[in-house]
Structure 1
Amino acid sequence: MADDVKTKVIEILAEQAVLEPGDIAMDQTLEDLGIDSLGLVESIFAIEEAFDISVPFNANDPQAGDFDISSVAAIIGAVEGLVAAQKG
């Protein structure tokens, strides 16, 4: 399941960044990928829809939420945590 989450999150971010999924590294930031605040919000919506989860994210203050957007790996980890909590 974790690989499925990783693959799907990378696909969503790649689509927003207009990159191939293989071009995305785990340590890259959204800024590295060229994803701006609007792209981030669209990515969050896509992640929520793909995994049927609710992401605790405040678009007006991205640092205020519990959803870590500091890197691709952090986003994947946060999504995995939300998916696991939903199933638990």
Structure 2
Amino acid sequence: MTDDIETRVAEIIAEQAVLEPGDVRMDMTLEDLGIDSLGLVESIFAIEEAFDIQVPFNANEPQNSAFDISSVASIVAAVRQLVAQQHPA
């Protein structure tokens, strides 16, 4: 069963990839989805706005960031972690 974070991240990424959210699988990479560096930046801005979080400024440089963008699942996990850190229940 998917959760709200997974669903919303998939919707944001699908919008950037001009796909239906159902076409976005958790094992896909941004490259698989045809999302370039500009699309990544726009996705990050949309994620920040949707979850009221701050993504590390170097998220688009995977070798220098703890925000893993290697797959949709890793982005979901990173967003979950940031939400937990920045909005503790």
Whether the TM-score (by the shorter chain) exceeds 0.5 is yes
* CA distance in structure 1 between the partners assigned to 2:42 and 2:27 by the alignment: 21
Mark the runs of 5 or more structure 1 residues left unpaired by the alignment. Answer: none
State the partner residue of 1:63.
63
- Which ranges of 4 or more aligned residues in structure 1 deviate by more than 4 Å? none
Equivalent residue runs for 1:18-37 within 5 Å: 18-37=18-37
Q: Is the 8 A contact 1:67 1:78 kept in 2?
A: yes
State the partner residue of 1:72.
72
Identity among equivalent pairs (%): 75
Which region of structure 1 is more displaced relative to structure 2, 61-70 or 26-35?
61-70
Q: Is the 8 A contact 1:26 1:72 kept in 2?
A: yes
Amino acid in structure 1 at the alignment position of 2:83 = V
Structure 2 SS opposite 1:79: helix
Q: Is the 8 A contact 2:17 2:33 kept in 1?
A: yes
TM-score, structure 1 normalization: 0.92
Q: Deviations over 1:21-45 (max 9, x none)?
A: 0001110000000000000000000
Mark the runs of 5 or more structure 2 residues left unpaired by the alignment. Answer: none
CA RMSD of aligned residues (A): 1.5
Task: Tell me the matched-pair count.
Answer: 87
Q: In the alignment, is residue 10 of structure 1 matched against residue 19 of structure 2? A: no
Which region of structure 1 is more displaced relative to structure 2, 9-18 or 48-57?
48-57
* CA distance in structure 1 between the partners assigned to 2:29 and 2:60 by the alignment: 19
Amino acid in structure 2 at the alignment position of 1:78 = A
Structure 2 SS opposite 1:30: coil
